[in-house]
Structure 1
Amino acid sequence: MASDKVKVAILMADYGHDPTETAVPFSEFKKAGWDITIFTENGSSPKCDKRMLEGWTQKLLGATQDAVSLYDDMTSTPEWQHASSWSSPTFDLSPFTLVFLPGGHEKGVRQVIDSRVVQTALGAFFPQTRKPSRKAVAAICHGVMALAEGKTAEGRSVLCDATTTALPGAMEGAAYHGTRLFLGDYYKTYGAGSESVEEFVRKKLDDDKVQYRNSLGLSPFVVKDEKYNYISGRFPPDAKLLADEVVALVGEISQAVNQRSVELMHGI
């Protein structure tokens, strides 16, 4: 499977995703020469959380200038400007090599997290990433929450037997309590009093004490599952490492597939 044949589906809401968690992986996937398709509910071009991109909230809490620059580059691409629809009758993830779910805590991301269409599609796609496989999934922050809502044929979360990380509850709580006087419940996607992303994801796992991996450090941190071609991250500082690990994983998959093709040609 050559790099120019790698097809990536990025599933998004119309508004609210984190610009760093979206633009950094997008940039790395483009550098790898992959074909990228952005999916929103009705095919409109998505917009990331403006609080992370402009004003005092950007300067204090939001994307770095480098990430803002990557975001501006991303929004000028044909892939971004001509999104496809995940509510279309023809929506199908099976042609794709990689499905990527960026995060974001703005309430607009509930559009993709709560979508039955997306849940069903992820329920069909994720089991196909069980090793050995040509397919992969990556998710970061609230994107892990969206993935955890994918259901298997038995009605269980697709992550029930997977190893994962997500936005740590301690980080989410610190952001919420530290800003609620001037931003209200902005850092609580489902409103004040709702469970954290970590609590939500842990409930989907068969044994969260073993399967949920955590780090409260600020250094980049990602988790690579051993059963599935699945990589997860916590928050924006993890985005570059996540993207690099995904590019490496897909490269390894490609090499394995090509090697197997050669072996079959020679009757090995």
Structure 2
Amino acid sequence: MSKKILFMVSSTNVIGPKNRRTGNLLTEVAHPYETFKKQGYDIDVFSVKGGEAPIDMVELDDPTNKAFLADEGLTKFKNTTGIDKALVDNYDAVFVPGGLAPVVDMPDNPTVQNILSSMYDKGKVVSAVCHGPVSLINVKLKDGSYLVDGKKVTGFSIAEEMNYAKEDVPFELEDALKERGADYSCVAPWQAYSIADGRLVTGQNPASAQGVAEKVIAILEA
């Protein structure tokens, strides 16, 4: 029986005081999606509000991104189910892509927190890339501890944000993860870097998205 992956994505298309256009970053959606698909996994896409989930269409000339836009992946993003309908028992892993969008509608969302805590407490894999780990910062497990406390994690770094969207984000993800007790690390800006700590997998930036998916697969196939 094939493994099932729950993509949990943002419903936001603007961020910050100047209403910067954003969405779920195409590379961070397409590369994991196509990697899971090639492994034979089933993928369902749920968004915070349901309906069309915005995609930040960058790097349109990337062949993996082109493949995603040409297959059923794009159709799924145009017709998502709301996360309040997600049944975590049906899935082996959850994946949260970045882009700036999840910064807006995920950190304080109780349904997001419940899905992530339930998945982890039930022995499933929790994964996120770039700004996606904002979804993790307020997640508490059934023992009352923060999910990221004491875990090796990464995510979009302060050094990267300084030259990208510092004016648009309300806080630095790197700082927020550290404040929750995470053992945060990163590499030079825009270089591929992903970490697995048990069943928690995180990636630093767009270049890390495929690596996150590959680490999730390695855990599920072990």
Which TM-score applies when normalising by structure 1? Answer: 0.71
- Aligned runs of 1:174-193 on 2, under 5 Å? 174-176=163-165, 185=167, 188-190=168-170
> Is 1:72 the counterpart of 2:66 in the alignment?
no
Shift of 1:160: 1.1
| Cα displacement (A) at 1:77 | 5.2
User: Shift in Å at residue 75 of structure 1?
Assistant: 5.8
2:6 corresponds in structure 1 to 9
Shift of 1:102: 0.6
Residue aligning to 2:137: 148
**What secondary structure, in the 3-state scheme, does the structure 1 residue paired with 2:84 have?**
coil
Task: Tell me how far apart the structure 2 counterparts of residues 168 and 77 of structure 1 sit (CA, whole Å).
Answer: 28
Give the alignment of 1:1-268 within 5 angstroms: 2=1, 4=2, 6-15=3-12, 16-49=23-56, 53=57, 62-63=58-59, 65-66=61-62, 67-73=64-70, 79-88=76-85, 91-106=86-101, 109-129=103-123, 135-176=124-165, 185=167, 188-190=168-170, 195-205=171-181, 208=182, 211-216=183-188, 218-225=190-197, 228-252=198-222
Q: Identify, as 1 or 2, the structure richer in helix.
A: 1
Structure 2 Cα separation of the partners of residues 168 and 65 of structure 1: 26
Q: Please state how far the C-alpha of 1:197 moved relative to its aligned partner.
A: 0.8
Describe the superposition over 1:197-234 as per-residue Cα deviations: whole angstroms up to 9, x where unpaired: 100111111xx4xx222211543211111xx2221101
Distance 1:35 1:94 in 2: 14
Shift of 1:13: 1.4
- Mapped to 1, the partners of 2:174 and 2:134 lie a distance apart of 8
- Unaligned segments of structure 2, at least 5 residues: 13-22
> Is the CA contact 1:11–1:39 (under 8 Å) kept in the aligned structure 2?
yes
Structure 2 Cα separation of the partners of residues 233 and 140 of structure 1: 4
Structure 1: runs of 5 or more not aligned: 54-61, 130-134, 178-184, 253-268
Provide the rounded CA distance (Å) in 1 between the counterparts of 2:115 and 2:73: 28
The RMSD of aligned alpha carbons is 2.2
Q: Shift of residue 68 of structure 1?
A: 3.9
How far residue 127 of structure 1 moved from its aligned partner, in angstroms, is 2.8
Distance 1:215 1:78, change over 3 A: same
The sequence identity of aligned pairs, in percent, is 22
Structure with higher strand content: 2
What letter corresponds to residue 137 of structure 2 in structure 1?
A
Distance in 2 (CA, whole Å) between partners of 1:214 and 1:118 is 25
Kindly tell me: are residues 163 and 243 of structure 1, through their superposed partners in 2, closer, same or farther at Cα, counting changes over 3 Å?
Answer: same
Q: How many residues are aligned here?
A: 211
Counterpart CA distance in 2 for 1:146 and 1:75 is 26
Offset of 1:159 from its aligned partner?
Answer: 1.1
One-letter amino acid of the counterpart of residue 142, structure 1? H
What is the distance in 2 between the residues matched to 1:74 and 1:197? 32
